[in-house]
Chains A and B, each alone.
Chain A
């Protein structure tokens, strides 16, 4: 699995957009970009994932550059409950339903949302 690079920490004001960057310059063509977050020793929570197109769901938006070497997770209106460690992970996609790549977690970005 390709490695990712994230800033160790970021701050954001409540109500503002939080933009979390991730570099994955060695990503392969069959690897997806996943984002998870972990709030104080709870189980990692899935946020969003994508291959090459931008994606949006009820939690966040994922912007992937055209060369796929980097991406940005956007939390449009951050709240105090969004304070967590955010992990950007690249992972091999479904290979016909019989083999799945594991998620390899790095150190992530500690996002602190301030009032």
Chain B
């Protein structure tokens, strides 16, 4: 158990709909990362938040957005869903340490768009 919690574990929805994926980082971790993994692609970095502020953006579509709340949990919002958005979405967190911090991943949210 990495200590990173993601909900829901599985989600099936129709094209055009909107969903929200939730991530609770490890206790005290200020950084949250979101990744997407589809069948034909590797793990793609989407976005990074640190203590409520966006720090870096990767290959995140404009239909997707994220935020990190004061209690440090994060949500990834996916709208106008398309079949190609079907994927595993991972959240990861990392805390402060003197050197070479370790990033821990949750078990992911399986999104199926039909």
Which of these, A49, A87, A97, contacts B100 with CB under 8 Å?
A: A49
Determine whether the beta carbon of B98 is less than 8 Å from that of A94.
yes
B66-114, CB < 8 A from A: 88, 90, 92, 94, 96-108
Chain B interface size, under 10 / 10 to 19 / 20 to 34 / 35 or more: 20 to 34
Could you jot down 26 A-B contacts, CB within 8 Å?
A38-B43, A41-B37, A41-B88, A43-B4, A43-B92, A44-B43, A44-B90, A44-B92, A44-B105, A45-B105, A46-B2, A46-B103, A46-B105, A49-B100, A51-B100, A93-B100, A93-B101, A94-B98, A99-B55, A100-B103, A102-B48, A102-B58, A103-B33, A105-B42, A105-B45, A107-B42
Closest chain A residue to B90, Cβ basis: A43
Q: Is the CB of A42 within 8 A of B50?
A: no
A41 touches B108 (CB 8 A): yes
Which 9 pairs from chain A and chain B are nearest by CB? A43-B105, A105-B43, A97-B96, A32-B100, A44-B105, A43-B107, A94-B101, A102-B45, A93-B100
Whole-angstrom distance between the Cβ of B103 and the nearest chain A Cβ: 6
How far is B103's CA from A97's CA once the two chains are assembled, in angstroms? 13
Q: Separation in Å of the A62 CB from the closest CB of chain B? A: 12
Report whether over half of chain A's contact residues are helix, strand or loop; otherwise say mixed.
loop
> CB within 8 A of B31: which of A32, A100, A108?
A100
Is A104 an interface residue, CB under 8 A from the partner? yes
Given the interface pairs A41-B88, A46-B103, A49-B102, the reply to whether A100 lies near B108 with Cβ below 8 Å is: no
Q: Can you name the residue of chain B whose Cβ is closest to the Cβ of A97? A: B96
- Which chain B residues numbered 14 to 55 have a C-beta less than 8 Å away from chain A? 31, 33, 35, 37, 42-45, 48, 50, 55
**Would you call A46 and B42 a contact (CB within 8 A)?**
no
